[in-house]
Amino acid sequence: METVNLSEDYRPLILVAEDDDSNFKLIKAIIGKKCEILWAKNGEEMVTLFKDNRGKTAAILMDIKMPIMNGLEATKIIREEETELPIIMQTAYAFTADRENAMAAGASEVLVKPITLSALRTCLSRFLPQLQW
């Protein structure tokens, strides 16, 4: 009987809220080979993506500053329905108040842009230990 290494086949679904095309392409380049990715361009689209993929989503990468609905508002809405899902917020602002606001909204972690390969992979590995880079 053949044994299957689940960690090699594990491709978690990551929802990414990012209004900037180049930032999304960077995230996709960093994690796209190991993760399934769905893209929302604003917080409102992210809430819809979350609802459409409830139970299948492993984590959310959420930009804070987006049009229509920002990441803080979207996170609060998602947290009303899902308290355990890792939500990793991204911000271009490294101020303590920005991190505190993100954590108060329900973020699991906050990464400062520009996102680096090591920071994103390390962060995701903390929340999804079965993910092998």
Q: pLDDT tens digits for 67-120?
A: 999 999 999 999 999 999 999 999 987 788 989 999 999 999 999 998 999 999
**What is the per-residue pLDDT for 5?**
47
Q: Is the model's pLDDT at 2 over the cut of 60?
A: no
- Give the chain's domains with CATH numbers: 12-127 (3.40.50.2300)
Torsion angle in degrees (nearest 10) through CA of 73, 76, 81, 85:
110
Q: What's the whole-number mean pLDDT along residues 28-40?
A: 96
**What is the per-residue pLDDT for 64?**
95
Burial readout 68-94 (b: 16 or more C-beta within 10 A, e: otherwise): ebbbbbbbebbeeebeebbbbbbbeee
pLDDT band at 8 (very low <50, low <70, confident <90, very high): low
Dist CA 6 CA 13 (whole Å): 15
Distance of CA 72 to the CA centre of its chain: 13
**What is the per-residue pLDDT for 95?**
84
**What is the per-residue pLDDT for 94?**
75
Dist CA 93 CA 59 (whole Å): 22
Residue 84: which of 106, 112, 51, 115 has the closest Cα?
106
Check residues 92 and 40 and name the one with the higher pLDDT: 40
Residue 15: which of 58, 76, 44, 78 has the closest Cα?
58
